[in-house]
Amino acid sequence: MIKTPYYLIDKQKLLVNMQKIAYVREQSGAKALLALKCFATWSVFDLMQQYMDGTTSSSLYELKLGRQKFEGEAHAYSVAWADDEIEEMLDNCDKIIFNSISQLQRFAERSEGKTRGLRVNPQVSSSDYLLADPARPFSRLGEWDPVKIEGVIDQISGFMFHNNCENGDFSLFDKMLGTIEERFGDLLHKVEWVSLGGGIHFTGEDYAVDAFCARLKGFSEKYGVQVYLEPGEAAITNSASLEVTVLDTLYNGKNLAVVDSSIEAHLLDLLIYRLNAKLAPSDGEHTVMVCGKSCLAGDIFGEYQFDRPLAIGDRLSFIDTAGYTMVKKNWFNGLKMPSIVVKQLDGTVEVVREFGYDDYLSSLS
């Protein structure tokens, strides 16, 4: 039995998402790039690169990872590039997307001859969280003035719009894309490619996939552009779990169980957005608050129902833990970092990476 904690990536479940992405690519003509900010566990890229067109990044290190570990295109984006990153960035990318006109002009000479794009902020989004809203007031993410953008249109060949966030509603996607067309339609006719970013949950159950494909294809044909999608969660949703073990139980007005993991260290997005972890289906009359082992008082996975009281040594499985987890794991409290385990397509289970004290030591100085 593999020692907990560990992230378990199931390639068979991952394949379900990959096949949906392949269908969208085929029916719409859009290309799909994996958003490494969400998921960058390269031990399963051998499967993913068969169904996707490459990667998109948010930093130099992500860019290099995509170039080295994933076949296909490597798109480079950063909110702001530093002077000492530019040469290495240009050496590793197929397309560079600048966040601002200022950055585009600052590095115009050094990026001459490279395929360049500009991030555009349409000032509408689907986000329910101000923290994650790219169109929030005073947002630094992209240019919004069509007049200013037209002034540099001869220096770029494409745009990137990233204004969807956990959007599983095709009608909302359609409406927001319509807003983009209304505001920037004249400019869309002047470029060769358009990325519509990530945050579109088109691999989710009951999503209007065929309508989505038709909308993308119509958009592409109307403006004569190659459309790109940048799926993150859509690529890996429901494909992984975090496996943990109960270390202690206690009662303090509620029944508590402490496990050998931590939301702050291993599922950080849950803490940031104040969400509960999803537990593998369980039911019963016994309510237990499952807690992490860090010293953070609010290190709590959530409250769950069980058919019996939890006992020391019980194993629990938190599901849908691929996105924004392994890329955010950290060494808070010096807690043991979860191993990365892959269930291959043939059903065999492989421990592909374990982390120990030396890794903790080397992360500091």
Binding residues: 233, 269
Structure tokens at 307: 């058919």
CA distance 98 to 107: 9
Give binding residues for substrate as ranges.
Answer: 233, 269
CA distance 197 to 50: 20
Partnered with residue 33 across adjacent β-strands are 54
Q: Which amino acid is residue 97, in one-letter code? A: I
Is 113 strand, coil or helix? coil
The DSSP code sequence of 143-207 is B--HHHHHTTGGG-SEEE----SSB--HHHHHHHHHHHHHHHHHHHTT-SEEE--S-B-TTSTT-
**Residue 259: what are its φ and ψ, rounded to 5°?**
-110, 170
Residue 132 burial by Cβ neighbours in a 10 Å radius (0-12, 13-18, 19+): middle
